[in-house]
Amino acid sequence: MSLRQALLRDGLAVCSLLFLLLVLLAALLAPWLAPQDPLAPDVQNKFAVWSAEHWLGTDHLGRDVFSRLLYGARCTLGFALLTTVFTLLAGILPGLLAGVLCGRTETLLLRLCDILLSFPAEVLILAVTGMLGAGPEKAALACLLAKWPWYARMMCGIARQYADTNAVRFARVMGHGLPHILRRHILPRVAGETIVLATLHTGSFILTLSALSFLGLGVQPPAPEWGAMLGEARNALLRAPWLMLPPGAAILLVVAACNYLGDCLHDALEGRCGDEGKAVFS
């Protein structure tokens, strides 16, 4: 497990990992940790500054910002993670299949990906949300449609590399079917790359999805999503400018931690491959 060792050597990476785990834990335990109901308005007490009762104050409807932040972690992270997983699936499966099958399937998939990738993701996302309308699942679908070709192309390349190994050739000669080859030979080998990709890109998914929620195209207002909270804070900018600090800082920190961790994993994986390569050639 040199990947784990490489990770543990870097203090900041450990901090990022711990921070992310903490946020995930807080998100899971939100109902027990949150001091108040995130959706209960208290019009008497709106725009309150921080106090013992409301740690981070209250928003324009008098809702407790800290509780909303905790529940928001659920919403934001859950939403982003689900989108990441589905996008990975949507990209990896065709990518792997094409990589293993080679030939015309591969050419066709790669050509399609090239065409889709020649447009900026933003335009595709706006086009799809535009046609489907606003809503969390539609925003997620838009993200998925815009980003899957990238993963598909990447996975196709990786699978191609592994499909050329003797183990896979031997399995083919032995008459094993495609599902067996995929499950036994290809999937275990691409698992590492997949985890790195997922970590590296969860951050960018959080950014894209919360931007859509911020505009009102993703998660809809009463729900405490961080981007949506920022959208509400924006409307109260002149009255209570401090309201934009907690959700914005939360997004920044989580995305920064994801990016750092992803970069570290990426380097570790590259380094590990490099070492293996050296061992082969020396």
Partner 1 sequence: MKLRTTLLHRLPGIVPLLFLTSVLSFGLVQLSPSDPAEVALRLNDITPTPEVIAETRARLGLDQPLPIRYFRWLDAVLHGDLGTSYVNGKSVAAELRQALPPTVMLAATATVIMLAGGLLTALPGVFRPGSRTDRLARLFLFFASAMPSFWLGLLLLQFLAVTLDLFPIGGMNGPASLALPALTLALPHMPAYARLLRAAMLRTARENFVLHDRARGLSPRTVMKHIFRNSLQSCLTALGMSLPRLMAGAFVVENIFAWPGLGRLCVTAIFNRDFPVIQAYVLLMAGMFIVCNLCVDICAALLDPRQREEAAQ
Binding site for partner 1 (CB under 8 A): 115, 118-120, 122-123, 126-134, 203, 207, 210-211, 214-217, 227, 230, 233-234, 237-238, 241, 244, 247-248, 251-253, 255-256, 258-260
Nearer to partner 1 by Cβ, of 80 and 190: the residue is: 80
Least distance between partner 1 and beta carbon 127 (Å): 4
Is the Cβ of residue 122 or residue 164 nearer to partner 1 in the bound state? 122
CB of 227 to partner 1, least distance (A): 7
**Torsions phi, psi for 9 (to 5 deg):** -65, -30
Name the residue with tokens 């499909």.
Answer: 163
Give min distance, CB of 241 to partner 1, in A: 5
Smallest separation, CB 248 to partner 1 (Å) = 3
70 or 255, CB closer to partner 1?
A: 255
Q: Give the integer Cα–Cα distance in Å for 141 and 122.
A: 13
Indicate the residue among 29 and 115 with the shorter CB distance to partner 1: 115
**Of the two residues 168 and 212, which places its CB atom closer to partner 1 in the complex?**
212
DSSP string, 5-34: HHHHH-HHHHHHHHHHHHHHHHHHTHHHH-
> CB 244 → partner 1: shortest distance, Å?
5
Decide if 207 contacts 193 (C-beta within 8 A).
Answer: no
> 191 vs 252, which CB is nearer to partner 1?
252
Residue 252 CB, nearest approach to partner 1 (Å)? 6
Instruction: Tell me the closest approach of the beta carbon of residue 57 to partner 1, in angstroms.
Output: 16
Tell me whether residue 138 or residue 185 sits nearer to partner 1 (CB atom): 138
Q: Nearer to partner 1 by C-beta: 57 or 203?
A: 203
At its nearest, how many Å lie between partner 1 and the CB of residue 53? 26
CB-CB contact of 38 with 66 (8 Å) = no
